[in-house]
Amino acid sequence: MIIRCRNGLDNEIEGIIIENKDGKVIIKNTKLNLTKIYNDYNYITDNCLFLDTFSNEWKESDDKKATEEENYYKFEMKLKNQRNRYIQSKTLYLDKSTNKPVSLEIKDINQKRTIYILYKEIEIGK
């Protein structure tokens, strides 16, 4: 899994690449030409922003639904036992033609969007 931060609202994370590959997590800052490698650190990617966390939460959720729209598959869920009021529900959109993630939306207790990730480049199985 590779996450690239580009053209975000926060210029401090633009150019950051997070890669989870072969049991290693590699964090690169392309602006500063810096790289940090974490070996055998399984939990670094276990947070609300990553797709594997979404998948695990989906399996555990009792309050979820999957729908089909014109160009997307939409997966919505409310998170159970969530103590963080800023992360109460998630919606993942997958492109119907490629089955790749398009965006992830995270909402707070008032259903206000607190995090929006638009996936520009996703590499699967490389």
pLDDT at residue 91 in the model: 94
100 Cβ contact partners less than 8 Å away, ≥ 6 residues apart: 94, 119, 122, 124
**pLDDT tens across 66-114, in order?**
999 999 999 999 987 777 778 889 999 999 998 889 999 989 888 888 8
pLDDT at residue 29 in the model: 84
**pLDDT tens across 3-56, in order?**
555 444 455 566 777 777 777 778 888 888 888 887 876 665 556 777 778 888
Per-residue pLDDT for 63 more than 50?
A: yes
pLDDT at residue 13 in the model: 61
Q: CA-to-CA distance for 113 and 101, rounded, in angstroms?
A: 18
